[in-house]
């Protein structure tokens, strides 16, 4: 462990819409925030295409471009953005809390704003793991390009799966959509779009038994869970779009969370069960999960942190 211990007023963990908004507010409140941007700076929006529902962009905007603008705005007010990870925290005792960045750098933080978001879930098949990066992907927007003119499959029936299926249909010859029930979970508009795209074939009541191929994906064996029949579809790409898991493992044992790992906050606030530690964005929201709600909750976290510091200063004055 290095001995250059740094003491800061506000640490922001994560760099999606929640983290950047918390940074903009806390920097403007002169809290000199330090942000650890994580492995995928910009978060989930960097792997999405058009964002058409974020107010202020009447023509829509690409997710990565939007996050770039958020970053610039956070930097404009002096946020210290670092491209690294917070690898452990110690929220026992009173603040300042000791956190470790990139396994070695020790930081003492008076307040911590958690905006670590969520990550893609996988089916859990060994063939999925073996062929990951060799045709198996959880991000159509990142990897769809590699399957231009080819046949692909996508698993899932939520808005993400529908959005990604539509995206893939523009690039690929054919898209099989593997849906485990006999209906979608996605919004009507999304389902309508998928159903009206000629090169998307929806396979209801279908589960993936195995993804086939030695060095790369060549096919997938799909079982109909109503009839018990299995069939093989020839595909070169296999996309998984079955939801997300919050990135909260490093906070286990300190912060209250639900069974999936979503952080619990006091309703109407961003306060966690630990004083001086606030949570925002998808790490604490399994209901709305939108860029705009994440940004709003990032604002709440920064204001809560600022007020916490001010109240503490009042009591010690
Ligand atoms: P969801 O949790 O909404 O959907 C996950 C889907 O994956 C469900 O259809 C589920 O099936 C299926 N699934 C889960 N596990 C498995 C499995 N093991 N095998 C097969 N299928 C499985 O996640 P999304 O990522 O789609 O969406 C998350 C949130 O983000 C939602 O609130 C959504 O509305 C929002 N969103 C909004 C968008 C927009 O407005 N532009 C775009 C993308 C997302 P089942 O239905 O049977 O449970």
In the chain, where the domains are located: 6-119+244-316, 122-240
Closest ligand 1 atom to Cα of 157: 9
Q: Are strands 97-101 and 237-240 parallel, antiparallel or unpaired?
A: unpaired
Equal fold, 6-119+244-316 vs 122-240:
yes
Strand partners, 141: none
Kindly give the parts of the chain with pLDDT less than 70.
1-4, 47-49
Q: Coil, helix or strand for 217?
A: coil
**Backbone phi and psi for residue 11, each to the nearest 5 degrees, phi listed first:** -105, 130
Q: Whose CA is nearest to atom 36 of ligand 1?
A: 159
139 is an active site residue = yes
DSSP string covering 248-315: -GGGTTTS-B-TT-PBP--TTS-B-SSTTEEE-GGGS-SS---HHHHHHHHHHHHHHHHHHHHHHHHH
Measured in Å, residue 52 CA sits from the centre of ligand 1 at 19
Whether domain 122-240 has CATH 3.50.50.60: the reply is: yes
**Coil, strand or helix: which one is 73?**
helix
> For the whole model, what pTM was predicted?
0.75
pLDDT at 48: 67
* Predicted pLDDT of residue 1: 45
Q: Ligand 1: does its nearest atom lie under 6 Å from the Cβ of 23?
A: no
Q: Is 206 in the pocket of ligand 1 (CB under 6 A)?
A: no
Cβ partners under 8 Å of residue 311, min gap 6: none
Find, among 239, 233, 217, 243, the residue nearest to 171 by Cα: 239
CATH node for 6-119+244-316: 3.50.50.60
Given 30, 90, 102, 142, which residue is catalytic?
Answer: 142
- Asked about 162 being catalytic, the answer comes back as no
Catalytic residue among 10, 110, 143, 151: 143
- pLDDT tens, position by position, 219-252: 999 999 999 999 999 999 999 999 889 999 999 9
Pick the closest to residue 233 from 194, 201, 193, 198 (CA basis): 201
Query: Of all protein residues, whose CA lies closest to atom 46 belonging to ligand 1?
Result: 185
The reported pLDDT for the residue numbered 288 is 85
Residue 8 in tokens = 């800061």
Distance in Å, CA 160 to ligand 1 centroid? 6
Question: Is residue 120 within 8 Å of 244, Cβ to Cβ?
Answer: yes
Q: How many C-beta atoms surround the C-beta of residue 7 within 10 A?
A: 10
Query: Beta strands of the chain (E only): which ranges?
Result: 6-13, 34-36, 50-51, 61-62, 80-82, 86-90, 97-101, 105-114, 118-120, 136-137, 151-155, 174-178, 200-203, 206-212, 219-224, 230-234, 237-240, 244-246, 277-279
CA-nearest residue for atom 28, ligand 1, is: 243
The answer to whether 10 is a known catalytic residue is no
Cα 244 to ligand 1 centre (Å): 8
The answer to whether the CB of 284 is under 6 A from ligand 1 is no
- Name, in order, each residue with C-beta under 8 angstroms of 171's C-beta and a sequence gap of 6 or more: 144, 145, 147, 148, 149
For the chain, give the longest Cα–Cα distance. 73
Nearest-CA residue for ligand 1 atom 22 is 242
CB neighbour class for 234 (10 Å; exposed up to 12, middle 13-18, buried from 19): middle
At residue 102, the 3 state secondary structure works out as coil
Which residue's CA lies nearest to atom 15 of ligand 1?
242
């Amino acid at each position: 462990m290095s001995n250059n211990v740094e003491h800061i007023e506000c640490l922001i963990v994560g760099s999606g819409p929640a983290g950047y908004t918390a940074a903009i507010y806390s920097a403007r409140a002169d809290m000199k925030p330090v942000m650890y941007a994580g492995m995928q700076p910009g978060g989930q929006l960097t792997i999405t295409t058009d964002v058409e529902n974020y107010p202020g962009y009447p023509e829509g905007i690409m997710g990565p471009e939007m996050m770039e603008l958020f970053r610039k705005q956070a930097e404009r007010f002096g946020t210290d953005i670092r491209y690294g990870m917070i690898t452990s925290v110690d929220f026992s005792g009173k603040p300042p809390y000791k956190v470790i960045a990139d396994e070695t750098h020790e930081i003492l933080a008076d307040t911590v704003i958690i905006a670590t978001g969520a990550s893609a879930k996988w089916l859990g098949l060994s063939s999925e793991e073996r062929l990951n990066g060799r045709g198996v992907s959880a991000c159509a927007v990142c990897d769809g390009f590699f399957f231009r003119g080819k046949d692909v499959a996508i698993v899932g029936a939520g808005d993400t799966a529908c959005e990604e299926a539509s995206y893939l249909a523009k690039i690929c010859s054919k898209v099989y959509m593997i849906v485990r029930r006999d209906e979608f979970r996605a919004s009507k508009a999304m389902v309508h779009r998928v159903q009206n795209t000629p090169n998307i074939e929806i396979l209801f009541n279908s589960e993936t038994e195995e993804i086939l191929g030695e060095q790369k994906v060549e096919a997938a064996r799909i079982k109909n869970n109503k009839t018990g029949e299995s069939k093989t579809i020839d595909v070169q790409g296999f996309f998984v779009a079955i939801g997300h898991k919050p990135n909260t493992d490093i906070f286990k044992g300190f912060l209250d969370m639900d069974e999936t790992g979503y952080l619990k906050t006091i309703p109407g606030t961003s306060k966690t069960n630990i004083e001086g530690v606030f949570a925002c964005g998808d790490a604490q929201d399994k209901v709305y999960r939108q860029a705009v709600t994440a940004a709003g909750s990032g604002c709440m976290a920064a204001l809560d942190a600022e007020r916490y510091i001010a109240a503490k200063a009042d009591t010690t004055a």
